[in-house]
Amino acid sequence: MQAPDDVSAGSKRCDAARNRARLLEAARHLVDDLGAEQMTMEAVAKEAGVGKGTLFRRFGDRDGLLRALLDEAEAEFHEAYASGPPPLGPGAPAADRLTAFGSTLISRMASDDDLGASLARQLRRRSRNASETGRAFHRHVSTLLREAGVDADHDMLAHAMLAFTTFETADHLRRECDVPTERLQATWAQLVRLVTRPD
């Protein structure tokens, strides 16, 4: 049986989640309208009708808020590769899932109207490894490498492979060297094939 104190704590947690969602909604609205560079903590607080202190307490700083927004924008992609239909989701061989994952990741990065991609591009100075999204990508790829039976340090090999899909590499090649998205996707597929083929 739940004590009255716990009910109250639970209800407070619900309030907190609602408030958090409302703050993120306000931030997303401003980013859509103005771009991430122009989003200030002051404008978000005003839009959400809260004090600036609330915003700083919840997200640390502006970067923390942008990262939270990015993690939220990535949730849909996470759903697709974690539990959606194959080959991205479960049910296909690990190598096919790896190929589908990288290919989707690269095409999302190349998309200009994907909030996750546009935020990630604007935040690219911060390492992807520092975000929950980046850690989830890494867990996913290293798990599939293990499933595919690759004889290697799966944890590190996943870092090595994902390095290709970062803005410093894939986005640089696409934007500065005019490499088409399809060639980047084909390279990922070749890398997966080379790494996962049996000895």
> DSSP E strands: which ranges in the chain?
none
Rounded to whole angstroms, what are the CA distances from 134 to 36, 80, 175?
19, 16, 22
The footprint of its own copies on this chain (CB under 8 A) covers a number of residues equal to 33
Question: Would you say 173 and 163 are in contact if contact means Cβ atoms under 8 Å apart?
Answer: no
Report if residue 50 touches its own copies, rule: CB under 8 A: no
Q: Between 75 and 130, whose beta carbon lies closer to its own copies?
A: 130
The single residue among 109, 163, 181, 182 that binds its own copies, judged by CB under 8 A, is 163
Q: Which residue has the tokens 């090595």?
A: 160
The interface with its own copies within residues 96-155 (CB under 8 A) comprises 125, 127, 129-130, 150, 152-153
Question: Would you say 140 and 180 are in contact if contact means Cβ atoms under 8 Å apart?
Answer: no
Report if residue 191 touches its own copies, rule: CB under 8 A: yes
Sign of CA dihedral 78, 83, 84, 88: positive
Report if residue 21 touches its own copies, rule: CB under 8 A: no
Q: Which residues are at the interface with its own copies (CB under 8 A)? A: 125, 127, 129-130, 150, 152-153, 156-157, 159-161, 163-164, 166, 168-169, 172-173, 176-177, 179, 183-184, 186-188, 190-191, 194-195, 197, 199
